[in-house]
A and B are shown apart, each in its own frame.
Chain A
């Protein structure tokens, strides 16, 4: 029984990959993503945190891009290239973990609300709707300011304010899945809540979760950089804190375009890559979902 299911899933997965490969923009996004993640992971092999230190910045101040400093230097003579490279670790880490937290909360709430349709589901949706109307950036700023700026609190602040959209999406999908006849058969055979939600509902909402995780990481990276720019950050160099620095030191009036352009382009490239991959995922998954229901 299980081996049949495994074989079927492996077949579905290979068909899915074949479909995804046909989405050219999605493949481009995926490649950019893999490169960015790989670069962030191998960064400690080549450089260390000292590239972000004001003390050890030895280059000329406000130097425009040159051979020695391909992306120029900042107000303390630090290389923008190395800072962007090192900063990618914080930006990506917060982006991934915040998205993960948001997706996990959204998934648990969504499946629970869709499965238990009585007062539990109703009150969970009430809470979801309440979180949904809260202006997320403003709420995240308040949470981060109150809990103090550390990587952990920034992740919490982003995760706690962004889960409701996922919860709604997953609840709708759970309702659709649970309306299918095999769920009823499974119930008749004596399946409990845990079995139905983890063995039948979860595998069916998983593709949707993957797509929304991808999009969620993109928005979490933007939110992290915005929070850092607005002064609530984890005090570690990220793309957002670099842009904050460029603003504080008057890079626009200094004409130091490289100081503003490079960290921003890094954000844009990674976010666009996530968006492209996420949209491609959705495009691949949607017809399947339609066919299945």
Chain B
């Protein structure tokens, strides 16, 4: 505030317009470098997966056969079929080649290609986590905004306290409680929502089917939202708290704007930037939640498929689902980085 405002502003504008194309080129370069980093990370995941899955104690064929009785000849045949009789380096290149061609092998449990299984399970997972994320994000941002704006109020203290509790609660325990109270019903309260699978056995057609699936989705979605939304609330709250003390908010107030306008038009848009990115950054956390929630409510999604693979254990299926989940998380993180760079001029200039 040393120089008069009107003297600074034209200079800033001139500099801004001259740097505009350069900034765009900067964004492109940034996006490319981030994409390169992501490709490197994905390559590391593939290499890491190969070696970790070769760490399995014992004979891989016997592991895959799950103690079923096999003659030595059968074992040899199986070993040859899986390429396990080749040197490790050849196995490695086979694995990388297959993975890049999206050939993830055949599941031992289902006797079907892993990729087909993943394809079937993708829809339900996207439906559940997508719905859950939208609700969690909107609820978390809304409540976080109001808690941060009225910092120290009763609403703020209640919200912060509740989200700290939800943060500490294990996802699966909350799911069990909800299943017992709202699914089975406790005492005089009847069960309100179904808690197994995605549809009823005698699922109706048409619009009734949509309602059927929606009612099956209530409990898993509620569990996922409860656990995930707490962190969005806390982040939005602290991010808004940082903005509240900024000069431009004081200026907006001094101009005589209504409190709501100061919040909605000035403080929130700035506070949103870091929060929205964090939503994407913490996608790995949501994935973990999805695995747990899908397992409890036997929701036929990717998370449950992964859980089945771990509990059988079906190593090919486990490897395939792990690769897919990890790559998806890396891609989401990279997108978040690039989007943040594009929408926040402060990061761009730095």
The answer, among B180, B288, B318, for a CB contact under 8 Å with A252, is B180
Question: For residue B56, which residues in chain A have a CB less than 8 angstroms away from its CB?
Answer: 146
**B53 within 8 Å of A by Cβ?**
yes
With contacts A133-B284, A272-B165 taken as known, whether A138 is within 8 angstroms of B172 at the C-beta atoms is no
**A247 within 8 Å of B by Cβ?**
yes
The answer, among A129, A226, A246, for a CB contact under 8 Å with B292, is A226
**A255 within 8 Å of B by Cβ?**
yes
Interface size on B, residues (CB 8 A): 46
The answer, among A129, A139, A230, A268, for a CB contact under 8 Å with B169, is A268
Summed over the interface, the residue pairs from A and B with CB atoms below 8 Å come to a total of 124
Question: For residue A143, which residues in chain B have a CB less than 8 angstroms away from its CB?
Answer: 52
Q: For chain B, residues 305 to 323, give those with C-beta under 8 angstroms from any C-beta of chain A.
A: 306-307, 310-311, 313, 315, 318, 322
Interface flags, A262-275, vs B, CB<8A=1, else 0: 00100110011001
> Is the Cβ of B180 less than 8 Å from the Cβ of A257?
yes
> Is the Cβ of B313 less than 8 Å from the Cβ of A145?
yes
Smallest CB separation, B326 vs chain A (Å): 6
Main secondary structure of the interface of A (DSSP, over half): helix
Cα-based distance from A8 to B179 in the complex (angstroms)? 56
**B41 within 8 Å of A by Cβ?**
yes
**B183 within 8 Å of A by Cβ?**
yes
Cα-based distance from A264 to B330 in the complex (angstroms)? 32
**A147 within 8 Å of B by Cβ?**
yes
Question: For residue A222, which residues in chain B have a CB less than 8 angstroms away from its CB?
Answer: 168, 170
Interface size on A, residues (CB 8 A): 41
Cα-based distance from A147 to B55 in the complex (angstroms)? 8
Q: For chain A, residues 237 to 258, give those with C-beta under 8 angstroms from any C-beta of chain B.
A: 240, 243, 246-247, 251-253, 255, 257
Q: List the interface of chain B (C-beta within 8 A of A).
A: 41, 44-45, 52-53, 55-57, 164-165, 167-173, 176-177, 179-180, 183-184, 186, 195, 284-285, 287-288, 291-292, 295-296, 306-307, 310-311, 313, 315, 318, 322, 325-326, 329-330, 333
Q: List the interface of chain A (C-beta within 8 A of B).
A: 129-130, 133-139, 141-143, 145-148, 218, 222, 225-226, 229-232, 240, 243, 246-247, 251-253, 255, 257, 260-261, 264, 267-268, 271-272, 275
If A133-B333, A134-B284 are given as contacts, then 15 extra A-B residue pairs at C-beta distance below 8 Å, sorted by A number, are A134-B45, A141-B310, A146-B52, A146-B53, A218-B168, A225-B172, A225-B173, A247-B296, A252-B184, A260-B173, A260-B177, A264-B170, A264-B173, A264-B177, A267-B173
